[in-house]
Amino acid sequence: MGDARTTTVANITTRFNYELRNTQAVQWEAAETLNYINKWLSFIYMILVEHESDLVINTTPGSFVTVVGTPTYDLSTNSMGDLLVPIHVWLDGLAELEKAEESDSMAHVISKEQGNTSYSQPSSYYIEGDNMGLLPFPDDIYTVKVKYIPDYTELTLTTESIPYKNLFNNVLVEGVKVIAKNREGYGTAVDAALMELFQDRAMSILRKRQKQNASLYV
């Protein structure tokens, strides 16, 4: 077995230039091509997020430490300001937390305001803006770990690697070519056709990487 193949923005741009015979810099400059690449990488990203693909979930969980009686924790000050979608949240070595609604916290808030300090081990969490809330309010110091999908980060340099293990490179080049060739008369029909192309490709890859649930019909 070998190492994973690395493809850079420059590699994709070179391939794009060859296929469109782009020999003059004034036709499709590198900055323009990079913008098109980012457009379709972000679209692929949203498809992968929707299906909670392993390709976009962070490999190293974030974490924060609780304070007795404190319900909410700022994710941005705990190195998780990029959290987009939580996948698993758990108390280290204890139990996974269930998702809750922010409205579920009001009973606990009112109880605390009434002077009740009978806290307990959290069993659920909720997201409120840049904060994560725990319910019930913690009665001890716990380490909360969070496995999540971060925000999409655009590529800015031609030396950066194309993400998603090169699974979408072919369709990425085709998408960039279509936008480039239609940039003067670009319309929603082009976007719709490309989105369908990317959607089909992404779903094909996802089906091959994830467990499939078989159904028996009689």
Give the tokens for residue 176.
């960039």
Query: Contact 56/206 with Cβ under 8 angstroms?
Result: no
User: Which stretches in the chain have pLDDT values below 70?
Assistant: 1-4, 23-26, 183-195, 197-218
Query: What's residue 216's pLDDT?
Result: 47
47 phi and psi angles, rounded to 5 deg: -65, -45
DSSP one-letter string for 99-128: E--GGGGHHHHHHHHTT--------EEEEE
Give one word for 52, left, alpha or beta, with left for phi > 0 and alpha for psi -120 to 50.
left
Query: What's residue 61's pLDDT?
Result: 94
Which pLDDT tens digit goes with each residue over 133-169?
Answer: 999 999 999 999 999 999 999 999 989 999 998 888 8
Query: What's residue 159's pLDDT?
Result: 92
Query: Contact 58/148 with Cβ under 8 angstroms?
Result: yes
**Extents of the domains making up the chain:** 9-53+163-208, 62-150
Q: What is the dihedral of CA 55, 16, 153, 50, to 10 degrees?
A: -40
Q: Say how many residues make up the chain.
A: 218
pTM equals: 0.79
Give the tokens for residue 203.
């779903």
Upstream peptide bond of 138 is cis (omega within 30 degrees of 0): no
Over the range 121-149, which residues count as b (16 or more CB within 10 Å of their CB) and which as e?
A: ebebbbbeeeebbbbbbbeeebebbbebb
